[in-house]
A and B are shown apart, each in its own frame.
Chain A
Amino acid sequence: MARRAVALTPDWTGWLAAALAAAGFLAPMGAVLWQAGQLWPTASDWSALRFTLCQAVISTVLSIALAVPVARALARRAFPGRGLLVTLLGAPFLLPVLVAVLGLLAVFGRSGVLNEVLRLSGLPTVSIYGLQGVVLAHVFFNLPLATRIILQGWQAIPAERFRVAEGLGFGPWAMARHLEWPMLRQVVPGAALLIFSLCLTSFAVALILGGGPKATTLELAIYQAFRFDFAPGRAAVLAVMQLALVGAAGLLALRFAGDVTGAAARGRVVQRWDLGTWGWDALLIGAAAVFLLAPLVAVVLKGAPEVVELPAAVWKAAGVSISVALAATVLTMALTTAIGLLAFRVPKLELVVLPGIALSPLVLGTGLFLLLYPVIAPDRVALAVTVMANTLAALPFALRLVLPHLRQAVADHGALAESLGIGPRVWLGRVLWPQVRRPFRFAAGLTAALSMGDLGVIALFADPDRATLPLQVMRLMGSYRTDDAAGAALVLLILSLGIFWIIDRGGRDA
């Protein structure tokens, strides 16, 4: 292996970054375990565990069950706008949870479009709160994700195999049995476990649509233990339960891990001869598009008139959020670079972020709170802690996106660069960077967007004076200032998608 040219940074920077990341994950985990000590869960803790599992199972099953036919329709049919729709399926990944929930409330809420229609037709109205609301929101987020992953599976079936099948005179049943079912058996377990893990750790959805003894998740129960009861011991016990649950699901998901971004789903439609009429396919694609777009359109329509008259606090919060997002992005990419530049000489170095898969945002928050509480009033460092939490949340993603490309670039060109005696500047600027630019900027954009929309740790540490935009939206909702909340949500949506677009775009040019 080419050593001199390839070694851009001294080894200690990589080791330091790896140690910082490991400490960032392990210290809060240790604090939680220590605090929980001998305490034992109460009946309501167990009920939170049951609800967490129950909603996650239902959400996963529904997301997958709906995604399979939608992905099938998208895999079979070519139509104008298909590429755009597949791109849009990636949007919920970047969407701030609060924005989506506000959109869902506008469509399915008490005075939402659906209930207005039901009222006018003299039918009983439906409630979005409780289990059904939590499941609805989780399906909204995960149906598109599942669709992209499964669509990718469909498109990975070699085109020749469809020709062989047609040559053998396969009907729809033989097609399903010999081509589609074997693919689903490979792709669905990984997708399901990923979605299950995401549903276990989602916080903002349960915060707004759940609650009460019947619909409290572990994540929400941790928050309530802090905010309402101020019982760190109880929060720690809940956190340990969540840690075990999420860790187990994460390890299981890791075994099936595939490409979670579904980025390859944009290939062209394979030519097939067994299609028949559009019928169901059109209905499925149309329904999925409406389900996905209606809440987003609602956010834009409700928010647009309010934006000009938003209170100053909202703009201040927007400024705070931009700073937090940029800080988290710089920190994440700095750690990714330092670890990455060492990781192609130290195999498996990226395993230092493995503990991260067990840490849900509120468990991380609990741990950090327990660590800081004896030293400093947590609300005084709320923003710094938020930056740190967002960094730790994004780091595993960023490493997974960037590292394979970095390793590939070194494997392909390292020896050649060394033999040519290329200096570090040329090596970095002309060889390495052009090859990792796209995934690097994509990872940075993702980090910025997720950080911008994050409502997790900040809710726990809430500082009355310095709120991030998601927290500000939540406060406006809590005080029933619905119009201002709608306007602020639109600003949040624009900022999240905008920051992703600006950072990622540079990676696509040239």
Chain B
Amino acid sequence: MLELERVLVVYPDYRLRATLKVPTGAHVAVVGPSGAGKSTFLAAIAGFETSEGRVLWDRQDLSGTRPGARPFSMLFQDNNLFPHLTAFENVALGISPSLRLTAAEKARVEAALARVGLTGFEARKPAQLSGGQQGRVAIARVLVQGRALILLDEPFAALGPALRAEMLELVRSTARESGATVLLVTHDLAEAARMPLMILVANGAAEPPADSAALLANPPEALKGWMG
């Protein structure tokens, strides 16, 4: 379980507070008006953003540990891959930054690439892959990392809606297999609606996760404005 206790991020012009719990294995959309701090919320969990309060994973306090030591995989809008490395190497980084893999580890990389449908693309560099294929490579890396928490910050923003939905379904189906928890920051209401739970970030606070259908049926003011 992911727990945030009195987390507070302070900026000169705004603050974000959060006290909430996310059950293990939950798939949660992080929604709210633009500029409300959705990405900041995710960055505070990852440790990219310094915050007060405590972030706990399975009762273990992560506050003060650097991002690299926290149990998450993260995908960003862009620049998830290293342009000078092949698809295989980009995935292999998820196992070892030194790229020295055992035979078993190499097999895991190949299996992950196969899982996302990229068998035969191992030797290609990102520039030789389509946007969708690049997204798949990044997902394969999340797969080999095998982390318990997957953080998605408006991922695959460069892709069209259909392809993005496909990518997201791929992430979610692999997460279901491993039992990982998924947090997705999105500005797309349809995308958010497909997630069973929602965390609303608005007015300087992140609310505890609520049932998506219930929330959308009876939206609070902040969400109404956002729904347009």
Q: Contact flags (1/0) for B34-56 with A, using CB distance below 8 Å? A: 00000000000010100000000
Does the CB pair A168–B78 fall under 8 Å? no
CB-based A-B contact count at 8 angstroms: 58
A481: Cβ under 8 A from any B Cβ: no
Q: Which residues of A contact B77 (CB under 8 A)?
A: 160
Q: Which residues of A contact B67 (CB under 8 A)?
A: 163, 166-167, 273
Q: Contact flags (1/0) for A172-183 with B, using CB distance below 8 Å? A: 011000110010
Closest B residue to A174 by beta carbon equals: B97
Scan residues 56-79 of chain B and give those whose CB is less than 8 A from a CB of chain A.
66-69, 72-74, 76-79
Given contacts A178-B82, A178-B85, A170 and B68 within 8 Å (CB-CB): yes
Describe B's contact surface by its main secondary structure.
loop
Q: Which residues of B contact A273 (CB under 8 A)?
A: 66-68
B19: Cβ under 8 A from any A Cβ: no
Given contacts A174-B98, A178-B97, A167 and B72 within 8 Å (CB-CB): yes
Q: Which residues of B contact A166 (CB under 8 A)?
A: 48, 66-68
Q: Which residues of A contact B97 (CB under 8 A)?
A: 165, 168-171, 173-174, 178
Q: Which residues of B contact A179 (CB under 8 A)?
A: 82
Given contacts A170-B68, A178-B93, A164 and B76 within 8 Å (CB-CB): yes
Chain B nearest Cβ from A50, distance in angstroms: 37
Q: Which residues of B contact A163 (CB under 8 A)?
A: 46, 48, 67, 74, 76
Given contacts A166-B68, A167-B72, A271 and B82 within 8 Å (CB-CB): no
Does the CB pair A164–B80 fall under 8 Å? yes
Q: Which residues of B contact A171 (CB under 8 A)?
A: 97
Complex-state Cα separation, A171 to B93, whole angstroms: 12
Scan residues 88-125 of chain B and give those whose CB is less than 8 A from a CB of chain A.
93-94, 97-98
Complex-state Cα separation, A168 to B80, whole angstroms: 11
Closest B residue to A181 by beta carbon equals: B84
Complex-state Cα separation, A271 to B67, whole angstroms: 12
Complex-state Cα separation, A15 to B98, whole angstroms: 58
Chain A nearest Cβ from B63, distance in angstroms: 15
B161: Cβ under 8 A from any A Cβ: no
Q: Which residues of B contact A271 (CB under 8 A)?
A: 48
Does the CB pair B93–A167 fall under 8 Å? no
Does the CB pair B82–A160 fall under 8 Å? no
Q: Which residues of A contact B82 (CB under 8 A)?
A: 161, 178-179, 182
4 shortest interchain CB distances as A-B pairs: A174-B97, A169-B68, A158-B79, A160-B79
Mark B residues whose CB is within 8 Å of A.
46, 48, 66-69, 72-74, 76-80, 82-85, 93-94, 97-98, 145
Task: Give 29 A-B contacts (CB < 8 Å), ordered by A residue.
Answer: A158-B78, A160-B76, A160-B79, A160-B80, A163-B46, A163-B67, A163-B74, A163-B76, A164-B74, A164-B79, A166-B67, A166-B68, A167-B46, A167-B67, A167-B68, A167-B72, A167-B74, A168-B68, A168-B94, A168-B97, A169-B68, A170-B97, A173-B97, A173-B98, A174-B98, A178-B82, A182-B82, A182-B84, A273-B66
